[in-house]
Structure formats: C-alpha cells, structure tokens
Structure 1
C-alpha cells in the first residue's frame, strides 16, 4: 500500500547539533534520521513501544549519506523520509535533507532488518503484525552496499573507547548515530576542516555499556579514510566498518 506523501520533519539546527565550526555534526544528522523514521512509523501505528510489546526491534545494517552542504547552526531544515521497499529480509529507507529554499543539503540511503528480540534472529518482513506503507516509486538509487575495508589497506589503532551511559540507547548498546562521532574522532584537524562529503557505515554487531572498542583507521587514500571498530575482548570481532570521503584538504587552520 502506498501513502500519499512521505513524512517530513521540520527542525532547527541547535547548539547541541553543531560542531566547532557551527556546522551540523554527522551524528546529529543520523540522530534526526532515526527520529524521523520513528515518527513516520508511529504515524502508521507502528510505535517503538508497540513493536517491543510484540517482541520486535529494528537493526540498522548500512548507512550511506552524501552531504552536499553541511547545515549551519540555527538553520531551518526539513528532513523527508520514506520506506522505499523490501528486498528479501531487508527494509530500505531513504532520506532527503533540504534548506528553506528546497535545496538538497544531504541525501541518505539506509538498509534495516527486523529482529525477533527474544531469539536474536532476523525475521522476514511478513512477521511484523503491522502495515508499513511504502513508496516504491521514490528512490535515491540502488540500496546502500556493505562497507568492507579493502584487504590491501593497512589500518592502525587510533584510540580505544569504553562504551558509557552517554552513548547507549533504550536497547542497551551504543546508538547507531554515535558511530559517526567515533569515525570523526579518528580524523585529523585538517581532515575535519576538509569536511565529510560522504559517510558510509556498515554495522556488524552491537557493543554494550562497559565493553571496549579498538578504533582503527587508514591513511588518507585517494581522498578517503577507512575506519574500523573491533571488540577489545575479541580482536577478531568487528563491530563496524566505515568509509569517509573527504573534501579537498587545503592549508591547516591557524593555531589557537
């Protein structure tokens, strides 16, 4: 079944969303994407609490965000989202962020799976006892693909972090949006100044409070930095992989 218009969330970039350049942080964009998706589904009668009551939850598989221009502090923006279609067990959802004039600031494609929380298994879309309206005629392109660090690239440990209360969500593990901060924290100041023009993340497994992650990164290779997170307690267990495509790196900002 197809709804008439995709859901649209209007909001202002607040101080908690902005970074040291007064630009919207990638993680803040991902947070609003989650909020918009939740509100879109809630408008169809598929609330988070209802899903939990039925023993279901959403698992984000991949995120692919292209940033045309970072939204600025106090800028009024609109975030449109829609469920595109299902492919096998995968739910595809797209997003468009626009300014007040309707110009595209960012576009995103995401892939999700429906999970039986008790059995910790991915289930088919038909298992969800709710109707989710779709927009198969609207698409930003092919589904986002799984990010895999090229085998020829050498990644070096950048830092380690222990997941604390501030990074967790109602599922008890690190929130999906926080991974953008993990990636940005691995960049140099010059790389941050260049800006992220595309952010691709694949989520492999969850990490819970008090677990430690080893964050590794590659050198800047052809304008891109690859980042990977491993579970410190099991170095073979990959938590996520990401590719950050950067703008042109010019001169370093002046020292403060």
Structure 2
C-alpha cells in the first residue's frame, strides 16, 4: 500500500554540470537520477551501505530518456522519482524533471536488477529483505525496451579509451552516468550543435578500471545515431549499446 508521496528534490544546475553551451549535460542528469533513487530508497531505510552489508547491489539494465528541452546553467529544477513495480526480475523506476513552473523538461523510464555481488547473479525481487514502496499509478509507460543495434547496420570504430579513476564508482567499474559522456564524445561538432531529444542506453557488461573500451558508431540517419561499446580485450564482449536521436543533424 502506498503511504508516501514520490521522492523529489530541488537543485540549481552548476557549472560542472553544464556543457560548452551552458546546457545541462545528459551525464549530469543521469548522475542526479542515481542520487535521487538512492535518496528515495534511503528514506525507506534501504541505504547503499545496508545493501552492501547484505551482499546486494543494483544493476541498471536500460535507461530511456526523453528530453523536451535541455535545462540551462543556474536554472532551478526539481527531479521526482518513484519505484512503479516489478516485471519479472526487473525493478522499474520512473523520473520527471520539471522547471519552477512545473513544466516537464525531461522524463525517463529505467529498469534495474537486484544482484548478488559475490556471485554476480541476478536475483528475484523476493530476495530483497526490505519493503520498497511503489507508485504504479504514476507510470510513464511501458518498461524501457532493451537497445539492440540493427543487424543491417555496421558501426565503425570512432575512438578508444582506458577506464580511469575519474569514471569509476564504489562498485569498481565505470559509473552508469559516464556512458552518456562516452556517447556524446562520439558526436561530431555539427551533431553536438543539434538538440538531443532522446537517449536510450542498455548496459550489457561492466567494465573496470584500466580496461579498454572501443567505441563504435553509425552514420546519422534521419537524426538517429547508434553507438556501441566493446571490450578492447575481447571484440565479442559488448559492454553497452545506445541510440541517440537528434532534432536536427547538419551534414
């Protein structure tokens, strides 16, 4: 039974969260989404440290982010999030970012899995020894679909990177939000000048510090760019797949 309102917090977008156009970076929004989810669970006495003590963790499966407009540097915004229920082993969480007048700036649907950290095994929701309050009546839609690069497309290598300290989190691997930067780094100057309207990312494997990530992308077709990350040590090991939609792509 739902007894609490969805969690929301207000903040002002800082310079470190903005890009060269003074617009809110997608990766910074994903970071705030993670923070909001942690705070939502913490108020139910499900803290990150308590989860670790239980040998449990959350694994983000897919993020489906729709951006109606990019917020700007120093703009005051409010981010609301709620758990809306489960589908099989998936935990479903939605987000809404609004301005001071309540207008929707962005919306996101995400799917997560509960994992046994030692065995690296996905667990059923019943394995969580805590109650997570849900708000299914506030759903933004169906669970996000897993991103899969169409077989007819042949992405080409764009660049490579070594996962460094600055990209990792307490789990010891590249933080989920960093993948948004990886995708944006694969865009040309002309593509970056266009407005990003939709970003979908599916996370297939974790990648750890000092490992190499090979980033591939397709050409822009009707404003859509597909991006894929592979392990530099094993070309068959897909780390993530993403689909970016731009309002206008300048040739």
TM-score by length of 1: 0.97
Supply the distance in 2 between the matched residues of 1:199 and 1:110 (Cα, whole angstroms): 12
- What corresponds to 2:152 in structure 1? 152
Supply the distance in 2 between the matched residues of 1:192 and 1:141 (Cα, whole angstroms): 29
Whether contact under 8 Å (1:13, 1:76) holds in the other structure is yes
Q: Unaligned 5+ residue runs, structure 1?
A: 252-256
Cα deviation, residue 250, structure 1: 4.9
Q: Does residue 234 in structure 1 map to residue 249 in structure 2?
A: no
The aligned runs of 1:35-184 (5 Å cut-off) are: 35-184=35-184
Provide the secondary structure at the position in 1 that maps to 2:179: helix
Q: Does residue 12 in structure 1 map to residue 12 in structure 2?
A: yes
Q: Deviations over 1:121-156 (max 9, x none)?
A: 000111011110000111111110000000111100
Supply the distance in 2 between the matched residues of 1:160 and 1:248 (Cα, whole angstroms): 27
Q: Does residue 32 in structure 1 map to residue 32 in structure 2?
A: yes
- What corresponds to 2:218 in structure 1? 218
Supply the distance in 2 between the matched residues of 1:149 and 1:213 (Cα, whole angstroms): 17
Q: Deviations over 1:191-230 (max 9, x none)?
A: 1110210000000000000000000000001110000000
Whether contact under 8 Å (2:191, 2:250) holds in the other structure is no
How many pairs were matched up?
A: 251
Supply the distance in 2 between the matched residues of 1:220 and 1:3 (Cα, whole angstroms): 46
TM-score by length of 2: 0.99
- What corresponds to 2:187 in structure 1? 187
**Ranges of 4+ aligned residues in structure 1 off by more than 3 Å:** none
Supply the distance in 2 between the matched residues of 1:42 and 1:118 (Cα, whole angstroms): 23
Supply the distance in 2 between the matched residues of 1:242 and 1:173 (Cα, whole angstroms): 18
CA RMSD of aligned residues (A): 0.8
- What corresponds to 2:244 in structure 1? 244
Whether contact under 8 Å (1:3, 1:134) holds in the other structure is no
Judging changes above 3 Å, is the alpha-carbon distance between structure 1 residues 250 and 232 closer, same or farther for their aligned structure 2 residues? closer
Whether contact under 8 Å (2:63, 2:109) holds in the other structure is yes
Cα deviation, residue 118, structure 1: 1.3
The aligned runs of 1:198-217 (5 Å cut-off) are: 198-217=198-217
Q: Deviations over 1:145-187 (max 9, x none)?
A: 0000001111000000000000000000000000000000000
Supply the distance in 2 between the matched residues of 1:145 and 1:136 (Cα, whole angstroms): 18
Whether contact under 8 Å (2:220, 2:249) holds in the other structure is no
Supply the distance in 2 between the matched residues of 1:223 and 1:241 (Cα, whole angstroms): 17
Q: Unaligned 5+ residue runs, structure 2?
A: none
Supply the distance in 2 between the matched residues of 1:13 and 1:48 (Cα, whole angstroms): 25
